[in-house]
A and B are shown apart, each in its own frame.
Chain A
Amino acid sequence: MYQSESLIRNHYNNINEWLEKMTAKVINEKNAEAETHFRNIGITFSTNSETARERIIPFDLIPRIFTFSEWSKLEKGVIQRAKALNAFLADIYNQGEIIKANIIPKELIFKKKSFEVSMFGFTPPRSIYSPIIGIDLVRTNHNEYFVLEDNCRTPSGVSYMLENREIMMRMFPDLFHTNRVTPIDDYPTRLLQTLMSLAPIKCNSSEPVCVLLTPGPLNSAYYEHSFLSDQMGIEMVESTDLFVEGEYLYMKTVDGPKKVDVVYRRIDDEFLDPLCFNPHSVIGIPGIMDVYRTGGVNICSAPGAGIADDKAIYVYVPEMIKFYLGEQPILENVQTWSCDKNDDLTYVLDNLSDLVVKEVDGSGGYGMLIGPKSSKSSIEEFRRKLSTNPRGYIAQPLLDLSFSPTLIKNQVEGRRVDLRPFCLIGENAQLSSGGLTRVAMNEGSFVVNSSQGGGVKDTWVLAE
């Protein structure tokens, strides 16, 4: 919000006035109201800890604001990236031009667990493998946005984007009278349109039947699954509700079997089909892959889409954009060292205490080393891990993430934030007019993940 030490960026003026008028008492009341609201609607998540099964994510009352022109640039950049990632998937599961052109080494792709052999030679409807992509962005002090990570499988968090806005509108209606905030509540409709535009070849209906496939109530994103299916008006199914007969996929209803055209799956590849992936899996729908490959059903995202958000592939996304789209990347990557390259590895080992090291298959802020914040012993531990398995890691500089004003014990303090907007690609490519802003609530912290003390904020895009 601050341009320099004390100068407030223009578009935050309104919010600043509003903040100054709020008393500590009102802030406390509103915080309690938000917490009760989140508990009542059940927007909770599970953590790895056994003790607190249902937690709510801390919500910060101060919105994060983007101007129209700031957002327009992000929008173009994210859509460009999402298109390139889909083109990459279509390529590697077919001709593999990018490998023939020596841009990406083939062992980086074919040896990955997330590369799905059974997808070889099959192209899903409209060549879209990953119709919902969440791109994690950070701003550094140069006022420039960098891509930290791509999420091409089943990015979550969109329910927070929508519910954060709902609670803000409910608690502070006046703010929305005085600020022209672009609405986001049409996201579920757009998601449904996207899914419907991806009907399989053998579907004749103009209104394909879509379902959301969830692993069940114990999954940490379960609230989001039920929220989205409810908002879209589609069934939320578990794998036991589905079965394959002949060339099609059906769900068990009180009225007998009903054909399903598009499955928006929120479960991992390996639990999709025990006949194809994990024979020991008790969940999954036997035969769904056969139906999929013969055009009886579409699975969104496609099995094997995860290879595109692998952290080792991430390094090559700017190259992909040039290769497939013939364009210059609008959004840059964060500088990244791939530890499988000898030169990079040497550099990383020499500078471990200044770098952030991540597992290429890791997520949720687990299994990473933040060099400047770590003890000697954990740095040495990572040195050993890197030397034995260099291919499993990448390293990045510790970014000076931008701060956003955050209420901490009723005082406004700066806390580090990132941003995940959601990109939809079906018949059209479009970006949500907002996103999920995650905030590291602890002073000095760089980790915004909700599993590790991160909070969330409403994210505004001002209308032109």
Chain B
Amino acid sequence: MLSRTAEYLYWISRYMERAETNARLLDVGYRMSLFPNPNGYNNEWESVLAASGAIQGYKNKYDIIEQKKVEDYLFFDEDNPSSVYNCILNARNNALVVRTSFTPESWLAINKTYQEILKLRNNNFNASDLPNLTEWTIEQVNLFRGSLSSLLRNDGYNFLYLGLFVERADNSARLLDVKYFVLLPKPQYIGGNIDNMQWSILLRSLSSFNAFRWAYDGNVTSTKIADFLVLNSDCPRSLSFCIQNIVKHLTNLTCSPEKVTKIYNTLKDLNTKIQEEKIESIVDFGLHEFVTQFIHKISSVDSDIQKEFFN
């Protein structure tokens, strides 16, 4: 497999994953905007922007933060490199270059999505259309992931999944972090009802609300949710699940065993630690600190993969 092909495959699934995360984030903002807005909380749309890493770009463009503009910026805006539109556009342009490493089904899944978002973009949408846009995005991304099952289980497949889980690990970690430090700026709210309500919204945004109910008995507590999203390897969005899958698809690569081993060695400790760790000790250590370390680690794995395989 060409190095360039591997790189493009890796980025296609990163972009598709990112499109979904951004659509889900918008949904979080939308849900929160339907609840009364108590003092001490930041504007929910500002937190959504922060979580998406788009706040600076947004402020360069607009003076005030309001729903319609945020929706537009995160969904359709060409100036926002992570807008759902740009993610789909980039994934599609990458797919165009590597469609020989794809099955016709997976190319169709991406290209149809692209053709449809071009149409959506030309229709003026209302603020209340947002749930439909989110739903559409999730559907399209699922279509793409489903089509991957038709691929040969070769290195291309593993690079696609490496991209997917590196992106998801990063996104899940950032969402967790935003919940702690953007949504709840005042420590006295931690553990309160509103706090739990927001954790529930976080679960919904990660498509894990019902799953959480089935995985844990009794009351919804922030510790249980943190356990679910950080350590529970049954949860397909947890940090633990992501890291396990990064290891799995990395070690499944058949090319360049010495490079694989090199990257695996840098990941081994984190992988072991996350399997054995208890949530209580993470909370004692500080969830924010833990998550920050995690994000750094993922980012260095990402640059190792790029350096070793794509150059």
Q: A: which residues have CB within 8 A of B?
A: 39-42, 216-217, 222, 226, 229-230, 235-238, 240-241, 251-256
Contacts and interface: CB of A to CB of B under 8 A. Distances in A.
B256 A235 contact: no
A45 to B, nearest CB: 13
Residue from A40, A216, A238, A256 whose CB has the most chain B CB atoms within 10 Å: A40
B93 A217 contact: yes
A162 to B, nearest CB: 13
B309 interface: yes
A216 B97 CA distance: 8
A69 to B, nearest CB: 36
Contact of A255 (B107, B108, B111, B255): B255
B193 interface: no
Given A217-B97, A226-B99, A226-B100, A253 B2 contact: yes
12 contacts: A41-B107, A41-B108, A42-B96, A42-B107, A230-B100, A235-B5, A241-B3, A251-B2, A254-B256, A254-B309, A255-B1, A255-B256
Contact of B112 (A40, A217, A229, A236): A40
B104 A41 contact: yes
A253 B3 CA distance: 5
Residue from B5, B6, B93 whose CB has the most chain A CB atoms within 10 Å: B5
A40 B115 contact: yes
B155 interface: yes
Contact of B100 (A39, A235, A251): A235
A222 B253 CA distance: 30
Contacts of A39: 111, 115
Contacts of A40: 108, 111-112, 115
* A-side interface mostly: mixed
Contact of A241 (B4, B100, B253): B4
Residue from A230, A238, A255 whose CB has the most chain B CB atoms within 10 Å: A255
Given A42-B96, A254-B309, 20 more contacts: A40-B108, A41-B108, A41-B111, A42-B107, A42-B111, A216-B97, A226-B100, A229-B100, A236-B100, A238-B4, A240-B4, A241-B2, A241-B4, A253-B1, A253-B3, A253-B255, A254-B1, A254-B2, A254-B6, A254-B159
Interface string B1-20: 11111100000000000000
A30 to B, nearest CB: 19
Nearest to B97: A217
A391 B79 CA distance: 51
Interface band, chain B:
20 to 34
Contact of B3 (A217, A229, A254): A254
A240 B2 CA distance: 11
Interface in B1-41: 1-6
Contacts of B255: 253-255
Contacts of B108: 40-41
B95 to A, nearest CB: 9
B100 A254 contact: no
B307 to A, nearest CB: 12
A200 B63 CA distance: 65
B96 A217 contact: yes
A226 B98 CA distance: 8
A267 to B, nearest CB: 16
Contacts of A255: 1, 254-256
Contacts of B254: 255
A301 B100 CA distance: 22
Contacts of A251: 2
A237 B256 CA distance: 21
A77 B207 CA distance: 65
Interface in B100-130: 100, 104, 107-108, 111-112, 115
Contact of B2 (A42, A216, A226, A237): A237
Interface in B256-311: 256, 309
Contacts of A226: 96-97, 99-100
Contacts of B96: 42, 217, 222, 226
B148 to A, nearest CB: 17
A372 B201 CA distance: 73
Contacts of B2: 235, 237, 241, 251-254
Q: Please provide the 5 A-B residue pairs with the shortest distance between their CB atoms, ordered closest to farther.
A: A255-B255, A254-B255, A230-B100, A252-B3, A254-B6
Contacts of A252: 2-4
A140 B97 CA distance: 41
Contacts of B93: 217
A389 to B, nearest CB: 40
Contacts of B3: 241, 252-254
A191 B88 CA distance: 34
A191 to B, nearest CB: 15
Contact of B155 (A41, A216, A240, A254): A254
Contacts of A217: 93, 96-97
B97 to A, nearest CB: 6
A407 B3 CA distance: 47
A347 to B, nearest CB: 49
Nearest to A242: B2
A313 B253 CA distance: 53
B88 to A, nearest CB: 14
